């Protein structure tokens, strides 16, 4: 049996890829590099919709948020850009040489942040919907402006800091953080991963007070230390029921976020692999499969329940710094209906949409983005 090969390759960057994301409808790939450039690529035409210099330093994270694009750079800035729509198919005929200059997203607003410890933003959409002006609302978690061992939570679009300096007891730099509601309580919680290899789950328990300072009201639910090296990446499942961490060591950490345990029980399970040096991790929408990107350039697939290996994807010759799964069919819109997009001159059928929902994309230090077509693992 021949080893799998990438379905497509994107060479839209001349610097190492540092961040990747897909839109919820799987129509757009967002890629960013260490020079501060962002490129948005149509998954239909595999051509750029827009490309621009979003930051003056390496980009830590990029994500589509409603009609906006959120980007986070090492230049200590989080920018919110107004998203550019794809060009009509008729305008794309003839190749890129015949296209006019690509439009550049306009900057909606910015936030000064602390990017000293390479911890990228984490965005939580608020279920209350839009504000009075029709704007979406979200919470964004970032390292504290002064103390990199603590976290701040800000509100978009008001740019108000609603929780400041969470987690002052750890005194180690945060490398990853994710805010979200716990299934058992519905309260706002914060899962943070640190440079000493530990993970801490906190919960906000002050009733009637939506704003906090100095970490007041944030109770530690549990602490776990599975890694012997700094945690390089953390990912929480779509349903917020478990999380995975990876590190420079050979361990994948798995943490149950909803099971009730006694305070003395070990939080999290360490799975030892034979491949140290892991820089990125992604979890498929159904929570059954994960992908980890190694410093050796390989992408390894695992069952999230047993951490049993499912296969290895080999293409990149240098470190794979980011991996992302496409959204599942259940999370895309109008899969079986005719498209309502006025620019959709080449309608995609359900089978094409199903195939695209099985994509895995990866970005590496070799400046390239690989797109893989996966089978439907039933693990």
> Under 8 Å CB-to-CB from 126, ≥6 apart: which residues?
137, 138, 139
Q: What is the pLDDT of residue 377?
A: 58
Q: What is the pLDDT of residues 70-97, one digit of tens each?
A: 999 999 999 999 998 765 554 454 444 4
Residue 346 has pLDDT above 70, yes or no: no
Residue 272 to residue 128: CA distance in whole angstroms: 41
Residue 361 to residue 6: CA distance in whole angstroms: 9
Q: Are strands 289-294 and 278-283 parallel, antiparallel or unpaired?
A: antiparallel
Give just the sign of the alpha carbon dihedral 257, 259, 263, 264.
negative
Q: What is the pLDDT of residue 1?
A: 59
Q: What is the pLDDT of residue 202?
A: 93
- Residue 159 corresponds to which tokens in the numbers above? 């740019």
Q: What is the pLDDT of residues 270-288, one digit of tens each?
A: 999 999 999 999 999 999 9
Domains of the chain and any CATH numbers: 8-87+102-332+348-373 (2.130.10.10)
């Amino acid at each position: 049996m021949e080893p799998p090969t990438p379905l497509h390759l994107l060479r839209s960057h001349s610097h190492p890829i540092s961040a990747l994301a897909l839109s919820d409808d799987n129509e757009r790939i967002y890629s960013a590099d260490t020079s501060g450039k962002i490129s948005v690529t149509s998954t239909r035409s595999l051509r750029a919709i827009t490309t621009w210099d979003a930051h003056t330093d390496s980009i830590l994270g990029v994500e589509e948020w409603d009609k906006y694009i959120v980007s986070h750079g090492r230049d200590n800035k989080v920018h919110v850009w107004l998203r550019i729509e794809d060009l009509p198919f008729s305008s794309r005929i003839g190749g890129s040489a015949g296209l006019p200059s690509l439009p550049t997203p306009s900057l909606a607003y910015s936030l000064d942040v602390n990017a000293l410890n390479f911890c990228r933003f984490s965005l939580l959409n608020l279920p209350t919907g839009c504000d009075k002006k029709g704007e979406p609302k979200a919470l964004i978690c970032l390292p504290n402006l002064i103390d990199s061992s603590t976290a701040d939570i800000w509100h978009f679009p008001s740019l108000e800091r609603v929780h400041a300096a969470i987690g002052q007891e750890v005194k180690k730099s945060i490398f990853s953080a994710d805010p979200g509601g716990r299934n058992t309580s519905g309260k706002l919680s914060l899962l943070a991963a640190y440079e000493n290899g530990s993970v801490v789950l906190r919960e906000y328990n002050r009733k009637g007070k939506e704003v906090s300072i100095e970490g007041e009201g944030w109770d530690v639910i549990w602490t776990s230390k599975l890694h012997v090296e700094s945690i390089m990446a953390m990912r929480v499942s779509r349903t917020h029921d478990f999380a995975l961490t990876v590190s420079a060591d050979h361990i994948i950490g798995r943490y149950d976020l909803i099971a009730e345990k006694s305070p003395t029980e070990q939080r999290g399970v360490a799975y030892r692999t034979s491949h140290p040096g892991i820089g990125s991790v992604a979890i498929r929408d159904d929570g059954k499969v994960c992908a980890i990107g190694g410093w050796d350039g390989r992408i390894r697939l695992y069952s999230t329940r047993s951490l049993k290996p499912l296969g290895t994807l080999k293409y990149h010759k240098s470190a794979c710094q980011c991996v992302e799964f496409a959204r599942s069919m259940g999370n895309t819109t109008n899969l079986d209906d005719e498209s309502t997009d006025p620019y959709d001159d080449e309608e995609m059928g359900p089978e094409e949409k199903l195939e695209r929902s099985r994509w895995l994309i990866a970005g590496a230090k070799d400046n390239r983005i690989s797109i893989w077509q996966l089978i439907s693992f039933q693990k």
